[in-house]
Structure 1
Amino acid sequence: MNSYRGIGRFVTARSHIDANVRPSLAERPSFCTPVSSKLLLRALIAALVLVVTVLLSYVASRRSVDFPVYHYSARKMLSGTGPLYGPGSGIGWPQVYRYPPLFLVLFIPFALLPLRLA
């Protein structure tokens, strides 16, 4: 080993590099282990599904014609006010409810929410 005086301190330099001092690439710790890669992939897929769901919900809420009719009719069925069918339903022509009342049972969870959130 060679020695020389550095800036205010004594420095020792190695004249050769020992192969055992540095670990090989296979021995080095990695941040991308198979477990973390799978977890990262699952998180990315979940985030992608969430983004697509939110975007589709937004587009559907802006362009939907039928859903407000079902929502309004399900709310009327829950409250028991007024007729569900015909011009007296309060929705207005041509947006009248035309399906059996049993179909509205599927919309009860949505009727508990405001229209924009449902």
Structure 2
Amino acid sequence: MKKTLLFLSAITLFLAACGGSSTEQTSSSSSTASTPTESKAPMEPGELLIVKSDCVGCHHTENKLIGPSYKDIAAKYPATEANISLLAGKMIKGGKGVWGPVPMTPHSKITEDDAKLMTKYILSLKK
């Protein structure tokens, strides 16, 4: 019963994240347009890819959601080419067991180059 509830919760968050990212983009675009004097630093390519993906349904920059926070990932893995390739592969193929019992779903539509850009951004958040 607990597994079913956890699974349904994960699906609900995933679906909410898919619909929520475009709304967030639209609202941030309109707020930027309405206040031209307020300038934000441009997003890095990896950060932009993350925002456009469904990652926000399970991950947050500072807080654990379903999966670990990006800062926790950055603290665990040094930014080496080996780790960048490893984590990019986990994004694409999925993973299980490193951060607990909830598996990371595969994201086979993400290219290896995009996954590496996303990983480099995440690892740049090391405290």
TM-score, normalised by the number of residues in structure 1: 0.29
TM-score, normalised by the number of residues in structure 2: 0.28
1 or 2 for the larger relative contact order (CA 8 Å, sep ≥6)? 2
Structure number with bigger Rg: 1
